[in-house]
Amino acid sequence: MFKRIITSLFLITLISLIILSSNIWIFASSIFLICSLGLYEWIKNSFSMTFVGLAIILNFGFWSIYFVSTDESNYVIFGLIIINTAIFDTFAYVIGSKVGKRFIVKKISPKKTLEGLIGGLFATLVFGMLIESMLFHDLLNIFIIGGFFAFIGDLFISYFKRKSGVKDTGNILPGHGGVLDRIDSHLFATPVLIYILLIL
């Protein structure tokens, strides 16, 4: 638990500094590194459908970089998207582990419950309402959508981990596992929310 907390604090600080720098080269280099490590873990763990993994990871990287490059203010919105997904993950896990009884897809991810999903979505609802009241930016609906796709992303990586018989995709992040273990929810949620924001 101690390692997990320390790693979390380190990652939060590092990500915050990268986003607050508003430097496209630092941001792009960081995203490139994350995607490269994620793809390496995919291949190392012998996950099937390598082309699909490559497409999804690169899709996440491309749209993340493109989004912030179009407007400097998008760094803040990108940060909020990342926070929203992290909030969903945290509350879905906590509520699911405390009161979860109705398993959604036990064969793929035995710890994912309906109660956890609802708890995570409710947390994104509250976060969206808070952000709307502070920034006057209509993010409430897309944050809820983001929570749902975060759940899909989590299940997606869980499926391949279970199929390959691995618990964690790596050990580069003490207490957390690998890079894919940390960005699984973001792989779907981030691009989808960026699509929506660019269309609106």
Encode pLDDT of 34-88 as tens digits: 999 999 999 998 887 788 889 999 999 999 999 999 999 899 999 999 999 999 9
Tell me the mean pLDDT in the region 29-38: 95
Q: How much is the pLDDT for 24?
A: 95
Buried/exposed 10-36: b ≥16 CB within 10 Å, e otherwise? eeeeeeeebbeeeeeeebbebbeebbe
Tokens of 67: 């989004």
More confident residue, 200 or 67: 67
How far from chain centre, in Å, is Cα 190?
7
Q: How much is the pLDDT for 172?
A: 85
- Whether 38 and 57 have beta carbons less than 8 Å apart is answered as yes
Instruction: Please state which of the ranges 2-6, 81-85, 171-175 shows the lowest mean pLDDT.
Output: 2-6
Q: How much is the pLDDT for 153?
A: 94
pLDDT exceeds 60 at position 136: no
